[in-house]
Structure 1
Amino acid sequence: MEVAVRSTPALTAVAALALAVAALPAAADPSGPAQPDLKRFYTQKIKWAACKPDVQNLSEDVTKDKDVTCGTVKVPLDYADPGRGTIRLALLKIKSSGDKRGSLLVNFGGPGGAGVAGLADAKKDFGYVGKGYDVVGFDPRGVGLSEPVSCGGDPEPGDDVEDPGDASAILKELRATAAECAKKSGPVLPYIGTVNVSRDLDVMRQALGDKKLNYLGFSYGTRLGAVYTAQFPKKVGRMVLDGVDTLTEDVAEQALVGAEGRQTALDNFLLWCTKNAGCVFGEDSRNARHAMTKLIDDLDAYPLRSMDGQEFTGQDVVSVLGSALYSRQAWPALSQALGALLADGDPRALLRMGGSMGGATRTKVPSDNSAAALMAVNCADDPDRPDAKRVEREVGRLQEEFEEASPVFGKSMLLPVLLCFGRPAGTDYIREDVRDVDTPKFLLVGTRGDPATPYRWTVETAERLGSSAVVLDNRGDGHTGYFGSKCVKDKVDAFLLYKQIPKNGSSCSAE
């Protein structure tokens, strides 16, 4: 599971924020039987047209590409009560360059990752598999251009409270924040969650004209794919799950594992950096770790300010690190960007790495959509929910546990955990029912050095899903294998195009 990194307020205020989201509408349990009047959704046809910069928020280079088209598909807001309303999901298609076998739906993870912009950015990576498939990216419900959820920006609850110990004043402010989340997110918020997105996948499959779902999911997208195998086992075509998520561990454990994994990746980066000439951190990796932590603490205390008043904080550095460490190929650029920040106080290279400069201006998507969607989906997928009093009692212990796991990423990884505690309990369908699936063979890719989804999750998920799951062991580094390992990419493409599935337990060596 990829967890968004964002700025955090004082921990006491964060704990109180967890209580405020209780004011949000209760999450619907989407695991019940489908209603019989879904025919209108399953008989629709997608109207593909040229993508437009002002509609899909894509660059002109993409929208001028004749092989790239955009469309929408209509799905029910609530599958248990389709008459409650509908929403439209945004899609982007890259037309097959050869003999089309069908469509390949792609999910890049998150939860909260936008598939329309993601596929537009990664078009060249799907050139070979695109010889046999129309490759289709989509924004899941609540994400990107598909009724995006929001809490009105990135609030810092508690800042306006004179006494941080005044619980009633904090709660009053945070109730207003929770009301803003519900107001800004609209009716989709209670119906976010992987079980509903999986049902959306099946509607998309039918609308694309495919009898079976061909699917490539990364990170959180593997959770989505696994849920689909349980809900629609007879509709599974060629499926690949890369960077396999857990189906059993709760939000707190997932976040803690993520903090540990990111810290390990950061330590590996600093070790690599200090062994190369010109590393801004010098030649001692231990001193480099201290210097990195001090850099973040100093920028949190004394942020850099641009001419227009915008701040660049230590948590902004954490955010860039969280994404840049996913790929070893990004390490040289990260080293140079950190050098510019430390030597000259210039954060522009880091901002570019984090996507804050250049590229398309996504004016139709709230700035906090990715973080808001991540929280909403993870909370909706998790049935464990300690009450508010327990959160208040345990917040100190949680802080220590997360900061011990990672002095750099611990605080930011704790925030989504606390935000879930105040929400209604999510579905238990994933934990209880996604197991022992009866489908054709499908491929799971686990990377040994993955900082976000540890290899053990691949093994555990494969065991849960049963004999249909075939594991490919990628012995390299980075989050997922398809984009970083030629061996993995070749084996995945061979399976998707020619149904050549590797032997269970076979491996790709580190590159």
Structure 2
Amino acid sequence: MHRSRPRGRSRGPSRVAAACVLVLACLGAAPGPSSPPPAPAPAVRWGECPERPVPDAMRCGTVQVPLDHAAPGKGTAEIALARIPATNPEKRLGSLLLNFGGPGAPGIASLAADPDAFAELGERYDLVAFDPRGVGHSEPVSCGGSQHTALEEGADAAAVLAALRAVVRSCELASGPVLPYVGTVHVARDMDVIRRALGDKKLNYLGFSYGTRLGAVYAAQFPGTTGRMVLDGVDSLTEPLTEQALVSARGQQRALENFLTWCAHQYGCVYGTNTRTAREKVEALVTRLDEEPLVGHDGSYVTGQDLVYAIGAALYSPLMWPALADALKTAERGGDPAELLQLGAPVEPSDGEEEVPDGPGKVPADNSEAALVAVSCADDPDRSDEKAGAAAVEKEMEALEEEFLKASKIFGPSQLSTVLSCYGRPAGTDFIRRIDRPGAPRMLLVGTRGDPATPYEWTEETAERLGSAVIVDYKGDGHTGYGSSPCVSEYVDRFLLSGRLPSGTRSCPAVE
């Protein structure tokens, strides 16, 4: 998968169990663009935000959308919004809707955390973020706690599937009526309701990572109301989950090798100057920590798979590479795992819900992971009950294991675990897979050559599918380019502020 941040997964006791640490979510096939015409624009009541702290100017609100856009009579859902007004209202261009990635990541908290990253755009645009349906304060889904299956050593495929289905039932019970209606096609329709509620004739949009899929799906459904659109860290529209996981493993491995090359040129790199043996040593460290975790003075510990997660998190930005180099040095020498934990080692979600400070709402502690799986399955049409037999599972996993290990001995096993995330569930929508030159206005796509989450080839594939895209080819490392590369930021800001867009592909050099 290829999201705003990597997800940690644990190795299970068997080949099949190792592939089952993600669980499924109930879903229904999302509708295509043949739904009834939109209802009148709803109103937004702006007021205090449910979380603290937020920027002084930020106000939050909710907008009601149909639970099922194809059948509005089924009820409504509330979508949470946040807005920071343009700081130069006399030259205001309208609203700029932002999505920071996911699926499963709340947009309001992301904007509140770093509004200065969009200061130039915020002079002339109202900056607007939202929590997509099923996420954060927008009818959050849940599985009632941890989604990891508790399986005994040597569990067979039939036991694995039974355990996964039991957790799915927990998701259905804990999530409520919104769960069958999550997914990118539904959220893109919500975005058009948001556009109308904000009073904008067209949707101006800046999306990152998974947010690029949202933007592309919006443009495919609503080409006539698509405004200036930028997609940075471009997601796949075509590949099934299995291929996405395989490509992601290759992308993470490529990013790791870029890091090891960098490390080899730094004084004191624990792996010396030989990048080939450095890769082998990292692989050996993962195996060693899976067999004997690194334990800290306070009882905290890091397994090999925790290490994989921490490395994946640090590869998202070259700014984190020095910290990763230091953490690997500590781990290799048997030191305290605190540095690795600070890089982002996974923390199991607690049972129940987390209170939101100073606000009336609650967000389930497992919401992010529950939404990730639910949306991913809703977007994939390839899984069905007929394909969910135990023998088929075992056969597929055995066939895929060698290919994933060839892609990356380090990241392959954890990426392989995503293959079963939708087994035994109804097939998702095929609308995204069928997008083909929808006739939307020209838009700007940014692809990063060293991106560990959304490989550059997805940028080219999506540009071809949209048929109206200009690519900025960023030669650097890390996930997404805006804010990391002044060259990328200049292209993006110029297009969003003036509408000027070059022709053909443009190149931005790596940032030294």
User: Greater shift after overlay, 200-209 or 145-154?
Assistant: 145-154
Query: 1:370–1:2: structure 2 CA closer, same or farther, 3 Å change rule?
Result: farther
Between the aligned partners of 1:265 and 1:330, the Cα distance in structure 2 is 13
1:321 equivalent in structure 2: 311
Between the aligned partners of 2:16 and 2:63, the Cα distance in structure 1 is 43
Asked if the contact 1:2/1:111 (under 8 Å) is kept, the reply is: no
1:224 equivalent in structure 2: 214
SS at the partner of 1:473? strand
| Counterpart mapping for 1:333-412 below 5 A | 333-343=323-333, 345-354=335-344, 364-385=362-383, 387-389=387-389, 390-412=392-414
Query: 1:253–1:198: structure 2 CA closer, same or farther, 3 Å change rule?
Result: same
1:34 equivalent in structure 2: 35
1:133 equivalent in structure 2: 125
Between the aligned partners of 2:124 and 2:134, the Cα distance in structure 1 is 30
2:449 equivalent in structure 1: 448
Asked if the contact 2:21/2:148 (under 8 Å) is kept, the reply is: no
Aligned-pair CA distance for 1:356: 7.2
Q: Over residues 354-390 of structure 1, what are the superposed CA-to-partner deviations in whole Å (9 max), with x where a residue is unaligned? A: 2879xxx886433433332222212111111271243
In the alignment, which of 180, 183, 190 is matched to residue 190 of structure 1? 180
SS at the partner of 2:30? coil
Matched, 1:479 2:483: no
| Counterpart mapping for 1:240-319 below 5 A | 240-304=230-294, 311-319=301-309
2:8 equivalent in structure 1: 6
2:104 equivalent in structure 1: 112
| Counterpart mapping for 1:36-51 below 5 A | 36=37, 38-39=38-39, 42-51=40-49
Q: What's the % identity of the aligned pairs?
A: 53
SS at the partner of 1:365? strand
Aligned-pair CA distance for 1:500: 1.7
Asked if the contact 2:147/2:370 (under 8 Å) is kept, the reply is: no
Asked if the contact 2:65/2:190 (under 8 Å) is kept, the reply is: yes
SS at the partner of 1:128? helix
Q: Over residues 447-496 of structure 1, what are the superposed CA-to-partner deviations in whole Å (9 max), with x where a residue is unaligned? A: 22222222222222222212x22222222222221121100101100110
Asked if the contact 1:49/1:70 (under 8 Å) is kept, the reply is: yes
Between the aligned partners of 1:336 and 1:330, the Cα distance in structure 2 is 10
In the alignment, which of 417, 432, 455 is matched to residue 415 of structure 1? 417
1:499 equivalent in structure 2: 499
Over aligned residue pairs, what C-alpha RMSD do you find?
Answer: 2.5
Asked if the contact 2:8/2:345 (under 8 Å) is kept, the reply is: no
Query: 1:94–1:341: structure 2 CA closer, same or farther, 3 Å change rule?
Result: farther
Between the aligned partners of 2:259 and 2:504, the Cα distance in structure 1 is 31
| Counterpart mapping for 1:192-207 below 5 A | 192-207=182-197
After TM superposition, the score normalised by the length of structure 2 is 0.89
Aligned-pair CA distance for 1:163: 5.7
Asked if the contact 2:21/2:147 (under 8 Å) is kept, the reply is: no
Matched, 1:457 2:447: no
Given residue 407 of structure 2, which amino acid in structure 1 is its aligned partner? A
Asked if the contact 1:388/1:422 (under 8 Å) is kept, the reply is: yes
Between the aligned partners of 2:437 and 2:483, the Cα distance in structure 1 is 29
1:100 equivalent in structure 2: 92
Query: 1:162–1:464: structure 2 CA closer, same or farther, 3 Å change rule?
Result: closer
Asked if the contact 2:444/2:471 (under 8 Å) is kept, the reply is: yes
Between the aligned partners of 2:101 and 2:82, the Cα distance in structure 1 is 16
Query: 1:32–1:501: structure 2 CA closer, same or farther, 3 Å change rule?
Result: closer
Asked if the contact 1:14/1:157 (under 8 Å) is kept, the reply is: no
Between the aligned partners of 2:500 and 2:454, the Cα distance in structure 1 is 25
Query: 1:155–1:302: structure 2 CA closer, same or farther, 3 Å change rule?
Result: farther
Matched, 1:427 2:429: yes
Given residue 469 of structure 1, which amino acid in structure 2 is its aligned partner? A
Aligned-pair CA distance for 1:439: 2.5
Between the aligned partners of 1:26 and 1:112, the Cα distance in structure 2 is 15
Aligned-pair CA distance for 1:92: 2.2
Between the aligned partners of 2:224 and 2:454, the Cα distance in structure 1 is 28
1:124 equivalent in structure 2: 116
Asked if the contact 1:50/1:69 (under 8 Å) is kept, the reply is: yes
Figure out how many residues of one structure are paired with residues of the other and give that number: 490
Query: 1:169–1:313: structure 2 CA closer, same or farther, 3 Å change rule?
Result: same
Aligned-pair CA distance for 1:308: 7.6
Asked if the contact 2:188/2:214 (under 8 Å) is kept, the reply is: yes
Aligned-pair CA distance for 1:32: 5.4
Matched, 1:176 2:166: yes
Matched, 1:215 2:219: no
Aligned-pair CA distance for 1:401: 1.4
Aligned-pair CA distance for 1:29: 3.0
Between the aligned partners of 1:187 and 1:308, the Cα distance in structure 2 is 42
Q: Gaps spanning 5+ residues in structure 2: where?
A: 348-353, 357-361
Given residue 47 of structure 1, which amino acid in structure 2 is its aligned partner? R
2:155 equivalent in structure 1: 164
Between the aligned partners of 1:461 and 1:169, the Cα distance in structure 2 is 39
Given residue 140 of structure 1, which amino acid in structure 2 is its aligned partner? P
Q: Over residues 133-159 of structure 1, what are the superposed CA-to-partner deviations in whole Å (9 max), with x where a residue is unaligned? A: 111121111122222223233344242
Between the aligned partners of 1:181 and 1:85, the Cα distance in structure 2 is 20
SS at the partner of 1:415? helix
SS at the partner of 1:124? helix
Q: Over residues 249-289 of structure 1, what are the superposed CA-to-partner deviations in whole Å (9 max), with x where a residue is unaligned? A: 11111110000000111111112112211223333323322
2:134 equivalent in structure 1: 142
Between the aligned partners of 1:455 and 1:362, the Cα distance in structure 2 is 39
Between the aligned partners of 2:177 and 2:75, the Cα distance in structure 1 is 9
Query: 1:74–1:218: structure 2 CA closer, same or farther, 3 Å change rule?
Result: same
Asked if the contact 1:50/1:66 (under 8 Å) is kept, the reply is: no
Between the aligned partners of 1:262 and 1:362, the Cα distance in structure 2 is 35
After TM superposition, the score normalised by the length of structure 1 is 0.89
Given residue 477 of structure 2, which amino acid in structure 1 is its aligned partner? D
1:330 equivalent in structure 2: 320
Aligned-pair CA distance for 1:196: 0.4
Query: 1:332–1:310: structure 2 CA closer, same or farther, 3 Å change rule?
Result: closer
Asked if the contact 1:482/1:492 (under 8 Å) is kept, the reply is: yes
Matched, 1:488 2:484: no
Query: 1:199–1:156: structure 2 CA closer, same or farther, 3 Å change rule?
Result: closer
Query: 1:82–1:307: structure 2 CA closer, same or farther, 3 Å change rule?
Result: farther
Asked if the contact 1:67/1:95 (under 8 Å) is kept, the reply is: yes
Given residue 164 of structure 1, which amino acid in structure 2 is its aligned partner? A
Aligned-pair CA distance for 1:292: 1.7
